[in-house]
Structure formats: C-alpha cells, structure tokens
Structure 1
Amino acid sequence: MVDTLGTHFNPLAEDPYPFYAQARLEQPITFCPELDVWLITRYADIQQVLLQPEVFSSRNTLSSSVTFYPQTLEALIQGFLPVPIVLNSDGEDHRRFRVPLMRAFAPARIRALEPYIRAIANRLIDGFIADTHADIIRQFAYPFSLEVVLQLLGIPSHDIEKTRVWSHDWLTLMSMQLSVNEQVACAHSTVAFQHYIAELMNQRRVSPQDDLISTLLHDSDEASFSENELVIMIQGLILAGHESTTNMIGTGLLLLLEQPERWQNLCLYPAQIPATVEEILRFDAPIQMFARVTTRTATIGDITLPDDASLLLIYGSGNRDAAAFPNPDTFEPKRSSNHHLAFGHGPHYCVGAALARLEGHIAFDVLCQRLPQLRLVPDQTLSHIPTLLFRGYQQLDVAWT
C-alpha cells in the first residue's frame, strides 16, 4: 500500500488537532498501518458510518490492542469473560440491551437525581474549599462523576473507594501495555470487581431497590440477560459513566480558566452553562474515537473498503470540521447550533447523554456559585491520560482566595 498520512497518526498525542485538520484536507479517509485501521476524519463521513450499522458493525468497539501474558489470561478466566453488550452489538442483540437501558435512563428518572447530584457537588467542595487550592480533577471531577453513576446503579456508598480502584485498574489493564506483574495485578483487581458486581446482583434479586441494577434484573420483559452479560454490562456502565464525565468537567474547566474572562462571564450568567457544556463537548470531546468494522465491501467518499476492514471514527476531528461548524477551531461558549458527535449518532447514540449533560450543568453551576474566584495555578505541566478511547487531563491544579 502506498504511504498514507495515517502512518503519522499518534492516537495519544497531547494535541491531535493539527493532524486531524491535515487529514480532513488531504486524506480524510487514511490508513494507519500501526493500528491496522482506517481513520475516518470528516463529520459527514462519520455520520454516514454511524447511520449504517448493518454495513459498519460495532462488534469491535471494545477491542483492545494490549497483548496479555499467559499469567494474565489465567487470572482473567477466574472472572467473567468479555461478551457483546450494548456498545459492541448490532441489530436485535443491540436492541435487546438498549431497550432496558433506555428505561433505566428515562428522563424522569434522571431529573429525579438532580438534588442528589447537587448535594454530591457541594459536599465535595466543602471538603477542600478551606484549603484555597486543589487538584480539581482528583478532588472534584473524578469523585463527583463516580458517585453519581454508582448512586444510579445502586452501589453502596461505603464501597465507592474500592470501586474506584477496581475501575481504574480495569481501564489501565485494557489501555496500557504493562509489565507482567503490573498486568497480573490489574487482572486480579478486575476479577474482584466482576465478582463484587455478581454478588451485588444476587442481593438485588432477593431485595430489589430503586436502582439500575434492580431495573435490569426485574424489568426486562424484552431482555433475557445471562449473568455474564449483566456483569460485563454493569462493569462497562461504571467505567464509561464516570470517565467521560470526569474528562468533560476537567477539560471544560481548563478551557474556561485559561481565559479568565470566560469563567467570570459564566459565573455572572449561569444561564449560559448548557450551551457552554455543549461547546466543551464539541471542542475537545471526552471520547475522541470509536471503532467500527465493515461487514462487506463498502464505500465512504471515494474510498472503497474491503470486508472486515477496521475503522476508527475520529469524533474529535469531525467536531472540528468546518463543513459542519463555523470557526471550528475557536471555542465559542455561545455557539447557537452545536450538533456535535461527542455522544455519537444514530442507533448507538449514548443512552447516558441526558445524565452526562445534567452532571455537567450541575457541576459548573455549583462551582460558579461556590468558587467564583477560581483560577489556574501557573506554570503547571498538563498531560492527558494515556488511553485511546478517553481524552482528559490527569491533573488540573487550581486556586482561589
């Protein structure tokens, strides 16, 4: 194959947007030999793929490029093995998973969480406000979004810390090529996570509560889930539900605080928070890309792809496409039309989008009220988490007086 722009693709680049812009202009569909995938970078092409699940399957969405050691595999088989769930299924199987989740994430249920979500935000700020400085990701964004999703699922509050560790270890296991000892340790942690979920499911079978796990177990007329499917799905919901929201809040705070007048304006006019959240999601999406695979020969633009070709839909690039967004490289909190791709598009549109938006609205509203003098600590080194799927900062130091 001739040399393509995709040869130079670095999925973990601190600033991938110059590459995205070059790709959209020169080779909007380009092959990356290192990852053995086609990169789809234009907004319209990404939408085309997302609207044709029968041609572009989701079955590889949760695939990992990590190589597991034999000792790691021995540990993992003591838990629950990967099976298709809502993110990596198609057709009737996808509908079987999605319908109960849509009931669980129904608008009325999400709205009912607002007082609890607001209380979490205020309690976390109470814990550090007297210090006049904080790592706002570690001390606010991460525990905030984790507690919200655990409350929805029905995870007891006294298990939040160990759930945080398990979730972090699982993401690390699936995202990074670790040493054998590190990988095995993360595998044992992942298996402990799965067995904890299975035991919690057993408790909810006997004593249902008003939570998502009970809903999945007892309100599934259209879905007969195996225990393996439920464990893997709940495990995935915990990870996706808090990682993406954590990154949205952390990235949003940086965008707002690096030009202080943006933060000051938001504090003065909190009615602008919803539009600001949408612009954060567009400008630097917390989920940058999703995988698909062709089910037959398929054409996108002027490129014909063979059967079983792997694709990476670069949401972060589509969200900066000038054909879809005026002044795409400018952060405009008051942008009037914002049909971004941060939550996907089509049949796989994120079922948790309403919850993520509500969390964003409440987080920024409470921060504006409690910390209107928030500012960045100068001269700090910012770096992104080293994962392919999620994009967000590892740390963000802020101060106030």
Structure 2
Amino acid sequence: MHDQTPSDLVAAMDPSRAAFHQDPYPVYAEARSGAPVAYVPSTGIWVISGSAEAEEALRDTQRFCNRYNLHSDYPLSDECLRVLENSHFTEQAIFNVDPPDHARMRGLLTPWFGRSNLSTKLPLIERVVGDLIDGFIDDGQVDLQARLAYPAPMTLVCNTLGVPVSDHMRLRELCDQWVALLALPLSDEDQIAAAHSVVELDAYCGQLLSTREQSPEDDIATELARSVRIGRATRGEAIAIIRFLLFAAHESTKNMIVHTVHNLLRDRPLWEAVVNDPALIPNALEEGLRFEPPIQGMTRQTTTEVTIGGVTIPPSARVHVIIGAVARDPARTPEPDRFDIGRPNGARHLAFGLGAHYCVGAPLARQVGRVVLEHLVARIPGLSLRKGFTPRFTQGGYIFHATWRSA
C-alpha cells in the first residue's frame, strides 16, 4: 500500500464533519487534484475522487466487486449482528451482485422500467403530481420537499412495487433506519434500533410477496413472487430487491427534484428561462443531476491488490467512488461549479452510475422529474425561495448529499 495524502486533507475528508456534509465540493476539488485515490483512517475507507480512476473502478467488476455494497461502512456491534440474523441484510439484490447473477436479477426488473411500460405510467404520474400540487397551491408557501419532491416518487415507486398508500410513511421510516445503518457511525443503541427496523422492513417485504403469491397484480412484487416460484430468484433475493427499490428509487428522485428546483430558483433568470421555454426542462434536470448528484458515492470492495492512480489499495478494502467529485471536475466539464442548463453535453454525468450497474430506474426518475418541473412552471410560474432560505444537509457519509430542513 502506498498513500501519501496530506494529513490536513485526510482530516477534511472525514464525512462526519458538519462542513463536509453541508458542502463537500471544496474537499472533493482538493482531493481530486492532490489525492485522487486516498485512504481515510477515520473511516477505514479508500476514496476515489479522480475522474479517470472513478471510471476505471466502476467499469471493472473483477477487481472492484459489488457484493458488499449493502454492508455497513462502519463496524456493527455483536448485538446488532445478532438482530440482523433475522433479516436479509446481507442478501444479494440488484445493487450488490456481480456478473453473471447481476444480469439475471436486472432481467427481472428491466421490463418495468423500459420505455413502453413507462409510457403507460405517464397518466398516473401526471395525476399524482397534479393532485399533490392541488394540495398546496393555495397555501402561499410550501415545504416543496415534504409536499411534492418526496411523496411523488414514493407514491409512484410503491405503485410499481404493489405497496398500499397507507404503508408509505412507515416504510419510509424503516428505510431511513436501514440506510443509516449502512452509511453512518451509529452508537450501539442506535445500531440495534436500526437493525430491528431492518427486520421489520424485511418482514413487510416478505409478507408482500406472500400476498402476491395468493393475489397476483400487475406489479413488481407479483413478478418477483412468480420468479421465486419458477426458480429465477430466491425468496431472500426477492425481499432484498424490494427493500432496495423502496429506498433507492424514491430517494434519488427526491434529491434530483429538490436540488434542481433549488438551483433554478437560486438563479432567478434560470427559473424564468424554463418558465418561458419548458423545452429546457430535460437539460435542466441533467444539469441538476450533474451539479448535485443525488447519490454522491458508489461503494465497491477490492478483490485483490489494486494499483490505481499510482496508489496501491490492498485486497478486501472498502472503496467509495465519489460521483460528486467527478461531477465538478473542470477537465471533464468547463466551469463545473456553475449551474448551466444550456450545457451541450448535459447528460454526460455519472449520477446514475456507469457500466453494468447503470441505474435500472433512471428512465422513471427522469420522467417523474420532468413531469414535476412541467407542472411547477405551468401552474406556479412565480415560485420563489423564501427570503433568507438556506438548505441544510443531513449527514450522509460518502453516499448521500441530501437536504434535511431549512434554516
């Protein structure tokens, strides 16, 4: 192993620092130019921030495996692990499986997120977004995240999965606990509480499969139940897939919407340009995905000793490929710290991944985001930020950069 990252930069890269999770981009810039591959002792994680190195790692599933993507970034207590024995916490799902099994699992979901199926979903998307805006349009002010950016994708993902509306809020709480166990340094007490939430969440997903075995519907849970019956997937895999989709599909879309709308409103002429020409919306969304990637980092584990970017990473090392750092690389994007909805190569980002693990739900996320922005500019063209508004970001490790509450 050889890593000569300056100690002050290593300290700045600690994701528990409030300054880091509020605005990680200056740290990314320093790391990208001075230590594109670095070891952070406080986390035990190797961080890849260089663009070339990131693309190499994401494409190489032989040396950078996905199997441990959904393991915790931090050591779990013995009691926490005992609780998790009653769950499918470490089961393979589409996100944490390597070829050839990855193709099998992806094949279970691809038809649900393809263009033909999404076209049938468009009336539902329009109705859900329209109804949500109806609920606050006359209020004078609104928490757009709570009233629109979160419930719209959550409702649509749950509809696709087969989850009743009445269960949405509880499932969100359980999913948040699961992700905290993955990404945050929790106390032993909080680890145990989160582990019990994972057990409850998996039990819910298992019951959903059982329900669909008896009462099939036109949804993903029914397809997964059928796949288990005919041997295309194990029951544990099906439960893990449902759990993963419940969180990943709505969280990334919510962040995309919130970040894009905020950056448009922050620079008023940009918002007015989109109001006057809604054809700019698709590129505005792509710029939102580049400028503030909903998922900041993607997890990998080395299968052997790897030398990348002139740095040698040992085998079985946990690695985070920082998409947020690549997004602001000036060698990749001119003036990367400027939010520019007119970029000619707006979709040239890694927000949805790269290679075999490119996000299967990306088309749905883009469609939901487009409909949300189309409704907002048409129905509330005078939308503006509350005076003095400053977004606050929750701690998300190297994985998330998500808004939490306003200041």
d(CA) in 2 for partners of 1:354 and 1:222?
A: 28
Partner of 1:351: 360
Please list, as runs of the form range in 1=range in 2, the aligned pairs for 1:266-305 lying within 5 A after superposition: 266-305=274-313
The residue that corresponds to 1:256 in the other structure is: 264
1:310 & 1:80 partners in 2: Cα distance?
21
**In structure 2, what residue type is equivalent to 1:8?**
A
The answer as to whether partners of 1:153 and 1:211 remain within 8 angstroms in 2 is yes
Matched AA of 1:64: S
Q: Secondary structure of 1:375's partner?
A: coil
| Counterpart residue identity of residue 390, structure 1 | F
Deviations 1:55-83 (A, max 9, x none): 21112222213444455444433333421
**Conserved? CA contact 1:266–1:368, under 8 Å:** yes
Does residue 1:19 correspond to 2:18, yes or no?
no
Query: Compared with structure 1, are the counterparts of its residues 222 and 308 closer, same or farther at alpha carbon in structure 2 (3 Å cutoff)?
Result: farther
The 1:374–1:111 alpha-carbon spacing in structure 2 relative to 1, beyond 3 Å, is: same
Aligned 8 A contact 1:291 1:312 in 2: yes
| Contact residue 299 and residue 319 of structure 2 kept, 8 A | yes
Equivalent-residue separation in structure 1 for 2:363 and 2:406 (angstroms): 26
2:44 aligned residue: 36
Instruction: Tell me if structure 2 keeps the 8 A contact 1:7–1:31.
Output: no
| Contact map agreement 2:302 2:316 (CA 8 A) in 1 | yes
Moved more, 7-16 or 135-144: 7-16
Q: Distance in 1 between matches of 2:5 and 2:267?
A: 40
Counterpart of 2:67 in structure 1 is 59
- More divergent stretch after superposition (269-278 vs 161-170): 161-170
Partner of 2:375: 366
Is the CA contact (8 Å cut-off) linking 1:136 and 1:395 kept in structure 2? no
1:371-395 CA-partner distances (Å, limit 9, x unpaired): 1111111223421122222212113
- Structure-2 separation of matches of 1:260 and 1:170: 38
Shift of 1:146: 0.7
Q: 1:313 to 1:232 in 2, by over 3 A?
A: same
Q: Superposed, which structure 2 residues align to 1:206-217 within 5 Å? A: 206-217=214-225
- Structure 1 Cα separation of the partners of residues 95 and 329 of structure 2: 25
The residue aligned with 2:392 is 383
In structure 1, what is the Cα distance between the partners aligned to 2:13 and 2:168? Answer: 37
Map of 1:9 onto structure 2: 13
Q: Return closer, same or farther for 1:314/1:181 CA change in 2, 3 Å cut-off.
A: closer
Shift of 1:182: 4.4
- Partner residue in 2 for 1:238: 246
Q: Residue 403 of structure 2 aligns with which residue?
A: 393
* Residues 1:121 and 2:129 are matched in the alignment: yes
Of stretches 53-62 and 218-227 in structure 1, the one that deviates more from structure 2 is: 218-227
Distance in 2 separating the partners of 1:287 and 1:340: 12
Query: What is the CA deviation profile of residues 127-146 of structure 1, one whole-angstrom value per residue up to 9, with x for unaligned ones?
Result: 11111111111111111111
Structure 2 unmatched ranges of 5 or more: none
Cα gap change, 1:220/1:95 in structure 2, threshold over 3 Å: closer, same or farther?
A: farther
Secondary structure of 2:198's aligned partner:
helix
Q: What residue is the counterpart of 2:209 in the other structure?
A: 201
Instruction: Say which is worse superposed, 70-79 or 365-374, in terms of deviation.
Output: 70-79
Q: Pick from 322, 332, 350 the counterpart of residue 314 of structure 1.
A: 322
Contact 1:137 1:395 in 2 (8 A): no
Cα gap change, 1:221 to 1:334, in 2 (>3 Å): farther
- Contact kept? 2:228, 2:234, Cα under 8 Å: no
Give the match for residue 136 of structure 1.
144
TM-score, scaled to structure 2: 0.91
Note if 1:323 corresponds to 2:331: yes
Q: Is the contact made by 2:172 and 2:247 (CA closer than 8 Å) also made in structure 1?
A: no
Q: Which amino acid aligns with 1:152?
A: T
- In structure 2, C-alpha distance between the alignment counterparts of 1:71 and 1:221, rounded to whole Å: 34
Contact 2:113 2:360 in 1 (8 A): yes
Partner of 1:112: 120
Deviates more, 1:174-183 or 1:53-62: 174-183
Paired letter, 1:382: P
Q: How many residues are paired up?
A: 397
Tell me which amino acid in the other structure corresponds to 1:326.
Answer: P
1:311 is displaced (CA, Å) by: 1.8
Relative to the length of structure 1, the TM-score reads 0.92
Structure 1 contact 382–394 (Cα < 8 Å) conserved: yes
Alignment partner of 2:369: what SS?
A: helix
Distance verdict in 2 for CA 1:308–1:186, change over 3 Å: closer
Q: Distance in 1 between matches of 2:365 and 2:218?
A: 20
Paired residues of 1:96 and 1:223 also in contact (CA < 8 A)? no
Alignment partner for residue 349 of structure 2, among 332, 340, 350?
340
